Structure 1
Amino acid sequence: MASICVLLILTVTIMSIGSAKTGDFSTVHCQKETLGQYGGQSLLECVVKTPPDTEIDSFTWKKDSRTLLSVTDRVTTVQAPGYLFVTPSSWNGTNMTVSLRIINTEVEHEGLYEVMVLTDRGVCKDSTTLHATAKYMKPTIHSNPEAMNLTCKSDGGYPEGTLRWFGGNEELTASQMKASQGENGLFQLSSTLSLREGSSVSTYTCRVFNASGGREQETLFPVPDPKTAEKVEGERRKELDPPTKVVAPVVVIGSLIVGLLIAVMLYIRRSQTARRQSTAPLTGGRSEAKEYNGDDLVYTDNNA
């Protein structure tokens, strides 16, 4: 019995000592995951919990073993541009904020971040993961009547999303979607839908979904009436026909020239007619003969 009592006392003593030692250490707690919007600010939240009368000497933020920022005696040293230390409004001595702010979130900022805190009671550290996200732009639809298909495109999104086609409320099967990444890490999506001849679908819809399956944007493509489409196409070809563009001005200019020539001819004819009338013989049985006598002009009346 005495041995059992001694063992119990030793066990309680050891547990008490372990609890006391654990309470004497500082700890840092970070939000395990953070979702950052592309082009916006992202906050990696971490708080240090310390026993009373504990002083923080310094702390450091790292990503992929690369030091981003460090604070020593409340003096901040930024070693990678684009990062800021979120200075708390007050330090209460036991809970101290050591959060990191990313000014302009990009795809390259995605990853695992680690913060290490040095106090006068030891070192503590924790980590958090940043996930970047960007919304896709409104899709555009291009029609290819000769190939009998529609092509839908959307870009500017992250992570990789999907394009899906709908005819009315029914989802349609399209060809394999293509996705490519630009230099900024954002995705460009493309999908082609083959049209069936004689289909009764009046409107096709292309929708873009993000990586989580949430719908972001959509574009509708109404199918034109065949007669209307033929008329519009005929007018478009007529407008773009080079001979039509050349012949029309030539006809107008030619008409003006012909009109001008007719006006000139009418003017000349009227002038000749007026001249003839002014030189015609006088009527009434009288005539005049003109005779020249030297330099003087003499009129002789032949009927006198």
Structure 2
Amino acid sequence: MNSIGALFVICAVIFPNANAVFLTVQCRSEIVGQYGQQSLLQCVVEPIDKDTTIRVVTWRKAGVEKALLVFHEMKTIQEPGFKFADPSWNNKNMNVSLLIANTEVASSGDYTCMVITDSGEGSSTVTLKVVAKYSPPVIRSIPKKITRTADGTLICDTDGGFPKGHIRWFVDGDTEWTRSSKMEAQQTRSGLFHLSSKLTLLQGSIFSTYTCVVFNASGGKEAEDTLEVEPVSSEIEGGTGMGKASKIVAPVVVIGSLIAGLLLVLLIYRRRSQQARRHSTAPLMGGHQEVFRFQLEREEDHPQRMDDKCKKFQV
């Protein structure tokens, strides 16, 4: 009898609650919650006895000291933003799911639900993963107008995503060009990510379209934006032709050359006219000098005439 009594004491110490084997808490192991929306952590108590009464329920988050929800002695204490999923829950309701009113990035983590009933106890853990969809990307360029005759930069931005995703570039529809880009990810105070990717364009690029595509952390495509680069010149017809710039510049050059030519002709004509006038007046001046010289010589031959003229000049 003494040996049986000792065995009973040992069993009582090792198995203080033999009824615990008659209770399980079934929870979904992983839940994906959308940022800014409600998240439901589903847990259901499955007892063998259908007349089971719940005495205690606690919900805790790993890394948080204070319990998020506690039911004990017919009272429920809950933190703001956390409550039983069933508004009319009572101690006979085996659905002990937890509802998170507003899912944030900080809401991600492991949650443990522990239940004690009059027929046993049990617990289970749920992992909540938070995701947020990225906004439609927007492509901007530096300079504002991109051409194929000069270097440039394309910048693609997107906001509000979680976890960190990535941006990929495609040219002319389906050819990937991500290797020529550089992406930066910045996490905001809310925990969401801002993604920005720069793609450098070199002079003489032959691509006409550039597409920026945003992928989430799981590799799923979310949104995209496309930029078309206009050619500098119009399409060449029949193998020959000029661009718009050439069609504008060529007439200006021709007109300028004509004006310069006319001015040069007028200048040459004016100079030749002046030279012709000088040549036509030179013989007349020379003739007057010869006549005057001839008159002086004749006067010298008649000294008396010279004396008479000098006297008239003195009078």
Tell whether the structures are fold-level matches, with TM greater than 0.5. Answer: yes
Give the length in aligned residue pairs.
210
Which residue of the partner structure matches residue 248 of structure 1? none
Structure 1, gaps ≥5 residues long: 1-17, 232-304
Rounded Cα–Cα distance in structure 2 between residues aligned with 1:163 and 1:217: 10
What SS does the corresponding residue of 1:67 show, helix, strand or coil?
coil
Partners in 2 of 1:140 and 1:24 — Cα distance?
Answer: 58
For residues 119 and 19 of structure 2, the distance between their equivalents in structure 1, rounded to whole angstroms, comes to 11
How big is each residue's C-alpha offset from its partner over 1:46-101, in whole Å with a ceiling of 9 and x where there is no partner?
A: 011112132210101001243001123553211x21111112768896x7110000
Aligned to 1:170: 175
Residue 49 of structure 1 pairs with residue 29 of structure 2: no
Does the aligned pair in 2 maintain the 1:24–1:51 contact within 8 Å? no
Q: Could you tell me whether the CA contact under 8 Å between 1:88 and 1:97 is conserved in 2? A: no
Q: Deviations over 1:220-255 (max 9, x none)?
A: 101023259x98xxxxxxxxxxxxxxxxxxxxxxxx
Q: In 1, Cα distance between the equivalents of 2:194 and 2:151?
A: 23
State the distance in 2 between where 1:44 and 1:67 align: 15
What CA distance in whole angstroms lies between the structure 2 residues aligned with 1:197 and 1:74?
75
Greater helix content:
2
Is the partner of 1:226 in helix, strand or coil? coil
1:36 aligns with 2:33: yes
Q: Distance in 1 between matches of 2:21 and 2:157?
A: 59
Q: 1:147 to 1:106 in 2, by over 3 A?
A: farther
Structure 1 residue 112: deviation in Å?
0.4
Secondary structure, counterpart of 2:163 in structure 1: coil
Answer yes or no: is the 8 Å Cα contact 1:88–1:96 preserved in 2.
Answer: no
Q: Which residue of 1 aligns with 2:198?
A: 192
Give the aligned partner of residue 151 of structure 1: 155
Larger strand share, 1 or 2? 1
CA displacement at 1:155 relative to structure 2: 1.0
Give the structure 1 partner of residue 94 of structure 2.
Answer: 96
**TM-score, length basis structure 1:** 0.63
State yes or no: 1:211 paired with 2:209: no
Cα pair 1:57 1:118 within 8 Å, conserved: yes
Q: Which runs of 4+ in 1 moved over 4 A?
A: 21-24, 88-93
The match for 2:58 is 60
* Matching residue's letter, 2:84: F
**Which of the residues 111, 114, 122 maps onto 2:112?**
114
Q: Mean Cα displacement is larger for which, 64-73 or 95-104?
A: 64-73
Question: What is the root-mean-square deviation of aligned Cα atoms in Å?
Answer: 2.6
State the Cα deviation string for residues 180-211 of structure 1 (Å, max 9, x = none). Answer: 10000000111111113222211100000000
Gaps of 5+ in 2: 1-14, 144-149, 235-243, 246-315
